[in-house]
Structure formats: structure tokens, C-alpha cells
Amino acid sequence: MSLKPTIGIETHIELNTNTKMFCRCAVVDTDEPNISLCPTCIGLPGALPVPNKKAIEFITLLALSTGCEITSKGMFHRKNYFYPDLPKNYQISQFDLPVGLNGELEIVIGEDRDFIQIERVHMEEDTGKSSHSGSGRIESATSTALDFNRSGVPLVEIVTKPVISSSKQAVAYIEELRQLSIDLNISEGRLEKGNLRFDANISVAPEDSTELGTKVEIKNMNSLRSLERAIDYEIQRQTKALEDGVEIVQETRHWDENKEVTSTMRSKEGSADYRYFSDPDLPNMFLSDEFIKEVETLMPLLPKAQREELMTTGLSLSQSNILSKSDDWIKKLYVEVFDQTKDSIASYNWITGELQGQMRKANIEVLPEWFNDDYLSEIIELIKSNKISFTSAKIILTEILTTETTPSKVAEQKNLFQENDSEKISEMINQIIKENQDIVDRIKSGEDKLVGFLVGQLMKQSNGSVNPGMAKELLLKELEG
């Protein structure tokens, strides 16, 4: 029996607003617990919520950027459940009228594009944080500490349709969504801080089946590595169960990072279990055309459009994708160096390869202030015009990353300019031939690979100042003649 997996992903993105979703408490980034809370965000009786306009603006922006239809009349619902980090016993969320419906997001894997259909984009508020003693899970903990700093922080939840077919696609989707949220300036997109957290719904069914298999939800992952491994593990587990004739149970599972397995958390609740009802403390929310137009003016150049633009310079789709997901200074430097050199591949290779490699090695996080596009452009031009070798160019780069000087000055000081004068090179060749007559004889009797030895001697004697391509060409001519 041939089986196919189907995956849907729900992502919560923490919005980088100054204040929480329904109160004026500051959104804080600290380990000190319970310093930013008030009656509203810890659910004291009688406290009334007031929606954060900036957060609604951010959610609308994400919905528009993924091509969603905007629901102009949205409503706040209460999603009821009990957990220690939710003192209100309900989360304010959106149920049947989310801000955005039916969008899509382009993803890139290698040189291929794909489109992931988005079902909905809606507002949520975060819960507090529980720290369970011992293993980190509530079942085996002897005590739990609660921190409500995060309670009520605005979130946007973005839900895909069940259209993802592999862990690779899932990872590419999260990478794209993360970059989108950074470019929209609605989130810092830092996975290690939990700015994006994702749940994956996974089912496996026979290849020719029109119905999906029983779905299992894996909760609360925040790294691409966990996402990839958890999906792969779950596909394997379900495939084996089906092949062995074991029934899959609809449930929520937990990904154990250390053991690299998923395990049962609870049998999956349906939406009816949450007893959604509209929040009596909040009026209906209408998104006017005027508001939507205002939000549209905030739209930056999206990652997809950035890729299209980069490809017009001559980069491939995967190169453009890598740049579109790089820090702003890298994107900017590429455009500037390309503008000067008109050589997309050299500009791309120097920036994403040697420059970033040397910076990592030397622990340089920010380019020195004197370092600008002129420097790299000059290096690329010096190589292209055969004035310096590639090896010398790397030495020059190391120097200008730490000292305020120019590539030409470094080349001069360190004697790195190549000898391109064919007469001078010929003189040196004649000298080498004289000194290595035995080698020359062996080359003439068929030992071709010894040509490399003579070129090596030439490089040595000239302290590497000879253009090796030119030297080899002239040497061969000399040997033939």
C-alpha cells in the first residue's frame, strides 16, 4: 500500500507592539517574573479589555501580504479552557470571523517555487508562562512557577490548509513566514526566543484516497530542527501503524527534543470543547476601507518581490532566496556592489561567501564604518583585470576588515600586484627553463604533468606576483617552440 502524508501548520507569531493586546501593560523581554501585569491581563473580575489598534493593524498587514480576503466585520470570541497559566479561564480569540481568509504564500526549495494555501489569519492573545520543576512537563513536576509577563501579549495565528506534503516544505514555509514577519516589521522573528511557535497537524492516507487520514497534532515547537524531525518521525510512526493494521487515534502529541520521539499529551479536543462565544465585554470590530487602505500604505517590498528583483540582476532563484532571507545590510551591500561591478555572481559569492566567512571567523558582527561597497567592488575589479590573484584578494579583504585603508594600497604594501607584462614573464621563464633542463627534457618526452612543477617554480621565484594563467600559457608556447 502506497501512503502519502498531509500536513497543515498553525503558527503563532508574537507581535512586537509596545503594549499588550487588551491593556496598557508593556510587552517586556526579561527573566524577572511578574513585573508587567494588571487586573485586565490576569483576569481579575470587573476589569475591561480595550483592543490594541497597532496589533489589529499588524494582523491586517500580515493578512494583506498573504493575499487574504479581509473580513471587514470581525468579532472577538472567548475560547474557554483551564490551565494554570490562563487565570481568566479563557483566551480572547477570533472564531468564525477571522481578519483574513483564503490567502497563499510562495515558498522556495532549491530552484523550485511552490505555493502554500492559507486558510485563515486571526488575532489571539498569549498566555502566561509555566515553569514546571523537574523534567519540564506538568505530569511529573512537584511544583510549577507562574509568570504572567507574557499574559495578553498580542499574537497573530496563521493557519495553512492541509496542503504540505513533506518536512522540507514545512521548513521552507516557516522560513518564508519568518522573513515576511521581519520585513513587515510586525515581529523580530527570533525563533530561539519563541517569537514564532508552531503546531503541525499530520495525517497519512493511501495515495489514491480522496479523504485525509486521522490527524495527529504536534504542539508547540519553536525550532526548524524540531519541526523537521517531529514531522519525519510522525509520518514514519503513522505509516508503520497503518501498515501493521493499527488504528491511528486522533490526539495531541508532544515532541520530545532529547529522545526524538512524539508521545501522547491528550486526546484531541474539537472546537466544540472550547465553548466559543462572542466576548460580551468587547464590541464588534469593523475594519473600514479607509483603515485597510491606510494599512496597505505600510506594505514594504515583500520577500517574493525581492526575489523577483534580485533575479533580474542575474542571480538564480535559490541565490535570490538566500539573499531575500539575509540581514538588511547584506541585501543592501549586494545591490550596491552589483550596481558598480555589474557582476552578479562575483558580488553574490564575495558577500555571502568570503566576506561573511571572514567576519564569522574574526567574530566581527557589524562591518567597520569605513567598509563600504567601493571596497568589494574594487577587489572584484582588480581580480577581473588580472591585477591580483584570488588568493591575494582574500588577504586584502582580511586587511581592510580591520584597518582603514583601500584594496589598492594593501596590494601595493604587500606586493600583491601581479606581473602581467609578457616580456618580463618570458624572461623569467627562460631563466627557469635554463635551471631545470632535466625537467624540460622529461616534459618533452611526454611527462606533461611536470608543466605544473615549472609554473610552481615560477610562482615561487616571483613571490606569487606572476599571473599564473598567463605564465602557463607562455611557458607552453616556449616549450613547444
**Which stretches of the chain bind Zn ion, using CB under 5 A?**
23, 25, 38, 40-41
Judged by beta carbon, residue 23 or residue 323, the one nearer Zn ion is 23
- HSE of 33 in the Cβ direction (CA atoms, 13 Å)? 9
Q: Which is nearer to Zn ion, 41 or 174 (CB)?
A: 41
Half-sphere exposure in the Cβ direction for 199 (13 Å, CA): 17
Angle (CA) 300-116-155 rounded to 5° is 60
The values of phi and psi at residue 409, to 5°, are -65, -40
Q: If you compute the radius of gyration of the chain from its CA atoms, what whole number of angstroms results?
A: 30
The 3-state DSSP class for residue 125 equals strand
* 186 contacts 58 by C-beta, under 8 angstroms: yes
Residue nearer to Zn ion on the CB measure, 43 or 468: 43
For residue 26, the minimal CB distance to Zn ion (Å) is 9
How far is it, in rounded angstroms, from Cα 427 to Cα 91?
84
| Shortest distance, position 22 Cβ to Zn ion, whole Å | 8
Return the number of the residue (41 or 310) whose C-beta is nearest Zn ion: 41
CB closer to Zn ion, 88 vs 237 = 88
Residue 353 Cα distances to 322, 347, 359, 394, angstroms: 12, 10, 10, 11
Closest to Zn ion by CB, 17 or 392: 17
The set of cell numbers assigned to 449 is 604533468
Residue 370 grid cell: 569605513
Q: How far is the CB of 80 from Zn ion (least distance, A)?
A: 20
C-alpha cell at 404: 582603514
**Residue reference for cell 473580513:** 71
Question: In angstroms, what is the minimal distance from the CB of 20 to Zn ion?
Answer: 5
How would you classify the pairing of strands 73-74 and 285-286?
antiparallel
Whole-angstrom CA distances from 258 to 105, 168, 202, 465 are 32, 21, 21, 55
Name the residue among 369, 314, 318, 325 with its Cα closest to residue 347.
314
Q: Are 121 and 181 in contact (CB under 8 A)?
A: no
Residue 40 C-beta: closest distance to Zn ion, Å: 5
Closest CB to Zn ion among 124 and 199? 124
Nearer to Zn ion, 126 or 217 (CB): 126
CB of 131 to Zn ion, least distance (A): 20
With respect to Zn ion, which residue has the nearer C-beta, 40 or 252? Answer: 40
Residue 190 Cβ vs Zn ion, minimum distance, rounded to whole Å:
23
State how far the alpha carbon of 447 is from the alpha carbons of 204, 304, 428, 437, 441, in Å: 62, 55, 22, 14, 9
CB 328 → Zn ion: shortest distance, Å? 33
CB of 282 to Zn ion, least distance (A): 15
Among 461, 479, 372, smallest CA distance to 424 is for 461
